[in-house]
Structure 1
Amino acid sequence: MRYVIIGAGAVGGTIGVRLADAGHDVTLVARGAHLDAIRRRGLTLRTPDRTATWRGPATDAPGERPLPADTVLVLTVKSQDTAAALAVWADAPVAGGGTAGERLPLFTAQNGVANEPAALRLFARVHAVCVWLPATHLEPGVVVANGYPHPGMLHLGRYPAGSDALDHAVAADLTGAGFVAPVRDDVMRWKYGKLLANLGNGLQALLGGDVPTDLRDRVRVEGQAVLAAAGIAHTSTEEEAAERGDRVGHRPVDGQERSGSSTWQSLARGVGSTEVDHLNGEIVLLGRLHGVPTPANAAVAYAVRRAARERIPAGGFPPAELAKMIG
């Protein structure tokens, strides 16, 4: 199988370089200064025990030639960029006829739970991936992955449910590349559990490392209440911890701990957008649909949008102002 990694940032860059190192055919998709850097000097992946530089094909869109029929597309862009990426790749021609949306599998290795239904509108074969992969992308051409002894855990399964032979084949490739890659028929249950964990990302992006426990608890409790009202199953923190065990921990890279969550990284890079509306905003949406108040998640979503819009630096939002907004 050939892999096209759509979004060569922290998650996509780590997956792409590790798959390529394991001998697989990989093409990275990036944009702007990051794409320029990859084309000039490759993508450097720094980990706790080594540094590797991948040099291979990189692009920002499908080329003029049809995609090979054995291509697996792996979507790793932030959730706010999903719609644009799907629009670019869904109608790409495939060798032998048809389009990518009709013929090729798409694996959604992303935070949040809105990417899969969006993808299913355009792709007939959607596979969800629950991502536990502590990595950082702040500098063009460089990804830092702190996961150890394995770089990450990636649960795979068909969307909306079930699994198939392709899930097991991709899981075998990921396992050979060093990841822990369980196949789960209930992969969305794992993704909803991860969504609850990600509700603290916005708080950490706003306040930095010292987020009061009561604030983390408030956004999570709201999230749990919403999922219960909606009848949506999710994993527990205990189940998740038992699954990871000591297989995916955090280690410093070149003496540095991981800087922050994916939302923190978006503010740190000043890109002008974050995935908060697909994390805390997902809870707000479900709360409104099912009559459950979600004031803390709504306040966090608004504050992160404001920080992105006004270029407030990561960790620089006034704590007193946030506390007043949450109430």
Structure 2
Amino acid sequence: MKICIFGAGAIGGYMGVKLAQVGADVSLVARGPHLEAMKSRGLTLLEENGVESRVQVQASADPEDLGPQDYVIVTLKAHSVPPVVPKMRPLIGENTTIVSGVNGVPWWYFHKIGGPLEGTRLQSVDPGDAQWNGFGPDRVLGCVVYPAAEVIEPGTVRHIEGNRFSLGEPDGAKSDRAVALSKALMAAGLKAPVRPRLRDEIWVKLWGNLSFNPISALTHATLDVLCTDTGTRNVARGMMVEAQTIAEKLGVRFPIDVERRIDGGAAVGAHRTSMLQDLDADRPMEIDALVGSVQELGRITQTPTPTIDTVLALVQLRARTAGLY
């Protein structure tokens, strides 16, 4: 089984090390100083329990060097994927599965969902249908990524917490390809359940990303503060309630309520969200997949989203002002 991780930053690097440690045929696509460090001295992982390990991995900036794969696991930021679809073609053979480990509403969301919205395409996450047409939705296997990790220096990834990568077919089937990848990830010490209702998990994670990320970018507050301050907690709650209305119209079932989800965010502590980290580091901010997509789904389902609309307008302007959108 050949596995390529496209976008081997923090999460992709963490997964890559774990797979390489058990002898999996894994390769990484990366760029810049991080790639050069991996080539020269390998990829180092500092695990949550303090264990440090280093592996030699096959890494390249050019997919031509790697050839067709059984699985291509995409761990880029959502806005970075559509422009690189043509670059990924050398990795894709007749039976290649694209594993979409990207935050937010996935581009394939309405593939095999059934009903009147079957095949609907989301321009906020896949402008010009780049992925839908470039990969084809039948290739996709969904993935919800739970670990937290960071690149602390080129070639070194620090694992913060979590080791679960939930997998799921768009139609909920327990397919051979999903089970095979699950077994490979579990052999590497990762949790990789195959879920019949992956969209439910997508929305529970999205609840937090939709609200906490833009509020933190606007206020520079950490999770413990924005989830307990009365004003920002009310804003987050308003966004989540609107999102829940949309999701339930699409058949999603939420296993917890809004208050428990916010309390869960507070329990994480003084964590700076990824959107705040991107703002501080002058990196493009992941706004459309996390917030704009939910606004688009509101329009599709004819659901008013006044709180989401307000926060989206503010964070878009904040990003434009910083030159990051």
Corresponding letter in the other structure for 2:59: A
**What pairs up with 1:1-327 in 2 under 5 angstroms?**
1-49=1-49, 50-63=51-64, 66-67=67-68, 71-89=70-88, 91-92=89-90, 100=92, 102-116=94-108, 119-121=131-133, 122-123=135-136, 124-137=138-151, 139-147=153-161, 151-199=162-210, 200-206=212-218, 207-209=220-222, 210-211=225-226, 212-228=232-248, 230-237=249-256, 259-271=271-283, 273-311=284-322
Higher deviation after alignment, 52-61 or 135-144: 135-144
* Alpha-carbon distance in structure 2 between the residues aligned to 1:102 and 1:295: 45
Corresponding letter in the other structure for 2:28: L
* Alpha-carbon distance in structure 1 between the residues aligned to 2:158 and 2:256: 26
Corresponding letter in the other structure for 1:265: Q
* Alpha-carbon distance in structure 2 between the residues aligned to 1:163 and 1:191: 18
Corresponding letter in the other structure for 1:46: L
* Alpha-carbon distance in structure 2 between the residues aligned to 1:258 and 1:55: 34
1:290-317 Cα deviation digits (max 9, x unpaired): 332223223333333334343399xxxx
Corresponding letter in the other structure for 2:79: Q
> What is aligned with 2:121?
none
* Alpha-carbon distance in structure 1 between the residues aligned to 2:90 and 2:63: 6
Contact 2:101 2:145 in 1 (8 A): yes
Corresponding letter in the other structure for 1:82: V
Corresponding letter in the other structure for 2:78: S
* Alpha-carbon distance in structure 1 between the residues aligned to 2:35 and 2:320: 24
RMSD (Å) for aligned C-alpha atoms? 2.9
Secondary structure at 1:107's aligned position in 2? strand
Contact 2:100 2:106 in 1 (8 A): no
Aligned length: 287
Secondary structure at 1:279's aligned position in 2? helix
Contact 2:27 2:66 in 1 (8 A): no
* Alpha-carbon distance in structure 1 between the residues aligned to 2:9 and 2:270: 15
Corresponding letter in the other structure for 2:234: D
| Distance apart, 1:184 and its partner CA | 1.2
1:209-243 Cα deviation digits (max 9, x unpaired): 12132222121112112223x433143337xx9xx
* Alpha-carbon distance in structure 1 between the residues aligned to 2:46 and 2:317: 32
Secondary structure at 1:18's aligned position in 2? helix
Gaps of 5+ in 1: 94-99, 242-248, 251-256, 314-327
Judged with a 3 Å threshold, the aligned counterparts in structure 2 of structure 1 residues 161 and 67 are, in CA distance, closer, same or farther, namely same
* Alpha-carbon distance in structure 2 between the residues aligned to 1:87 and 1:268: 30
TM-score, normalised with respect to structure 1: 0.77
Contact 2:105 2:294 in 1 (8 A): no
Corresponding letter in the other structure for 1:116: W
> What is aligned with 1:253?
none
Gaps of 5+ in 2: 110-125, 227-231, 261-266
| Distance apart, 1:5 and its partner CA | 0.3
TM-score, normalised with respect to structure 2: 0.78
Corresponding letter in the other structure for 1:72: Y
